[in-house]
Amino acid sequence: MSDSIELEAQYCAHNYHPLPVVLTRGEGVFVWDEDGKKYLDMMSAYSAVSHGHANPRLVKLVQEQVATLNIVSRAFYSDRLGPFLARACELTGMDMALPMNTGAEAVETAIKAARKWAYTVKGVADNQAEIIGCDGNFHGRTIAAVAMSDEPQYQQGFGPFPPGFRNVEYGSIDALADAITENTAAFICEPIQGEGGIVIPPDGYLRAAADLCRERNVLLIIDEIQTGLGRTGKILACEHENVRPDGLILGKALGGGILPVSMFLARRDVMEVFTPGDHGSTFGGNPLGAAIGLEALNILVENKLADNSARLGAHLLAELRKIDSPMIREVRGRGLFVGVELDPDLASARAVCEALMERGLLSKETHETVVRLAPPLVISKAEIDWAVSQIREVIEELDQVRLAS
């Protein structure tokens, strides 16, 4: 066993189950392990490395900014934050933004904004505001986020949980309509459930949800931490249905694969419920993170990464669907956000990922039945074709082993 793996096993909390590979370097769509073996990264850190590893423009900017100014806290203004927030609002159609660091922090920010908006604008009675989520959701692992979850492992041993959350069936407008009451502050939803297994709701669901929320005076908050910034073939996944939410959560790719950078964006009347002291973060909106975030957005647009995702994602889906095996239940996705669901009676997603790792392709299972494929958006068609060939061969090999046993 590698010394690095032994050290992590001894000193790091066992809250992850990594594949047994120790990575030491990355460039573009590739990473290398401590023995110098090269791998195609079809995971991109859960969509955080959309711009590719060690993107030259981002590396150059970081080197310059690190030597200039990094952290001052928002006790003072900086020359980097304003331009970053302006660009983010321009690209998303939002009015204002509140910068944070991790996606989970941005989710917490959205929850606080929705509750305070309900009390100060909508007129919900004190401490009665409710937020509706979806079955199968994933919004992080903070106490509030897991209070919304229906995944037993996320909740077991961590209660009691804060009240004011309820879930409805993902994709069902009727269920959402039935759940809304006079106390409903917001409906928070992922346009595609990533951690849930790349689950896509029925066509028209987000549009209908937006119309319903507007009719019932409920905020529609879209969590685009994984799906946003080109991942599904558009800047935002909700754009596939021409939906502009009342609140928007961004993270992961916003940090260019370098730093945790996130934000909650919203309509002006929603964001203006915050007053000095209501909410904050020592590192949120720091000059280094803001500089990286602005450059990440500029690269996304100038290099047409969303277009690349749309084009090559369609190709990836088409090629994967040509693999004829009883092990595969379904191939689904949008853009370069794809899931291969396996029949758990015939195959283990973990076993598939481990076999792919041996061949020089890195991915990760979700919920033990889905192989998630979300490469950097700078990937090429040739690299996609090579990845599909490896997946096909692994499936064929496992099929042969299964039939021989």
Catalytic residue among 41, 223, 264, 274: 223
| Strand pairing category for 370-373 and 364-366 | antiparallel
Could you give the CA distance from residue 60 to residue 129 in angstroms, rounded to a whole number?
A: 46
* Calculated CA dihedral for residues 306, 315, 139, 15, nearest 10 degrees: -120
Give how far the C-alpha of residue 252 lies from the chain's centroid of Cα atoms, to the nearest Å. Answer: 6
User: Whole-number mean pLDDT of the chain?
Assistant: 97
The total number of structural domains that make up the chain: 2
| Strand pairing category for 262-266 and 247-250 | antiparallel
Starting from the edge strand earliest in sequence, which strands make up the sheet with 38-41, in order? 23-27, 30-33, 38-41, 361-362
pLDDT of 383 reads 98
Domain boundary among 272, 302, 332: 302
pLDDT, tens only, 150-170:
999 999 999 999 999 999 999
pLDDT of 333 reads 98
Q: What is the CATH number of the domain that holds 314?
A: 3.90.1150.10
For every residue of 227-294, DSSP letters joined together read TTTTTTSSSSGGGGGT---SEEEE-GGGGTTTS--EEEEE-HHHHTT--TTSS--SSTT-HHHHHHHH
Burial 213-247 (b: 16+ CB within 10 A, else e): beeeebbbbbbbbbbbbbbbbbbbbbbbbebebbb
Residues 45 and 86 in one domain: no
| Strand pairing category for 364-366 and 328-333 | unpaired
Is residue 368 over pLDDT 90? no
Domain boundary among 302, 318, 345: 302
Could you give the CA distance from residue 128 to residue 243 in angstroms, rounded to a whole number?
A: 28
Could you give the CA distance from residue 25 to residue 59 in angstroms, rounded to a whole number?
A: 14
- Cα-trace Rg, the chain: 21
pLDDT of 401 reads 85
Told to judge if 138 belongs to the known catalytic residues of this protein, a careful annotator would answer yes
Residues 188 and 221 in one domain: yes
Within 10 angstroms of residue 69's Cβ, the number of other Cβ atoms is 14
For every residue of 291-355, DSSP letters joined together read HHHHHHHHHHHHTTHHHHHHHHHHHHHHHHTT---TTEEEEEESSS-EEEEE-TTT--HHHHHHH
Residues 255 and 269 in one domain: yes
Q: Which amino acid is at 399?
A: D
Residues 85 and 230 in one domain: yes
Residues 351 and 395 in one domain: yes
Residue 80, classified by CB atoms within 10 Å of its CB into exposed (0-12), middle (13-18) or buried (19+), is buried
Residues 232 and 143 in one domain: yes
* Calculated CA dihedral for residues 34, 373, 190, 15, nearest 10 degrees: -30
Q: Which residue in the block uniquely carries the two structure tokens 């203004």?
A: 77
Could you give the CA distance from residue 41 to residue 52 in angstroms, rounded to a whole number?
A: 9
Q: What is the CATH number of the domain that holds 88?
A: 3.40.640.10
pLDDT of 403 reads 83
Q: Which residue in the block uniquely carries the two structure tokens 């100014």?
A: 69
Helix 81-92 with 287-302: angle, nearest 10 deg? 40
- DSSP bridge pairs for 119: none
Give percent of the chain with pLDDT exceeding 70: 100
pLDDT of 268 reads 97
* Mean local confidence (pLDDT), 57-65: 98
Residues 42 and 103 in one domain: no
Residue 367: which pLDDT band, with cuts at 50, 70 and 90? confident
Starting from the edge strand earliest in sequence, which strands make up the sheet with 96-100, in order? 96-100, 262-266, 247-250, 219-223, 184-189, 130-134, 165-168
Give the CA count within 13 Å in the CB-facing half-sphere of 325. Answer: 24
Return the structure tokens found at 322: 């040509």
Give the pTM. 0.97
pLDDT, tens only, 271-288:
999 999 999 999 999 999
Q: Which amino acid is at 405?
A: S
Is residue 391 over pLDDT 90? yes
- DSSP bridge pairs for 33: 23
Residues 311 and 366 in one domain: yes
Is residue 194 over pLDDT 80? yes
Is residue 370 over pLDDT 80? yes
- Name the 3-class secondary structure at 328: strand
Domain boundary among 269, 302, 335: 302
Domain span including residue 390: 3-54+306-404
Residues 358 and 260 in one domain: no
Residues 398 and 281 in one domain: no
pLDDT, tens only, 91-134:
999 999 999 999 999 999 999 999 999 999 999 999 999 999 99
Residues 133 and 227 in one domain: yes
Catalytic residue among 138, 187, 274, 337: 138
Told to judge if 343 belongs to the known catalytic residues of this protein, a careful annotator would answer no
Residues 36 and 136 in one domain: no
pLDDT, tens only, 7-48:
999 999 999 999 999 999 999 999 999 999 999 999 999 999
Catalytic residue among 116, 234, 252, 364: 252
How far CA 47 is from CA of 72, 226, 395, in Å, comes to 28, 6, 24
pLDDT, tens only, 296-349:
999 999 999 999 999 999 999 999 999 999 999 999 999 999 999 999 999 999
Told to judge if 399 belongs to the known catalytic residues of this protein, a careful annotator would answer no
Looking at the chain, how many residues does it have? 405
* Phi, psi dihedral angles at 363 (to 5 degrees): -145, -175
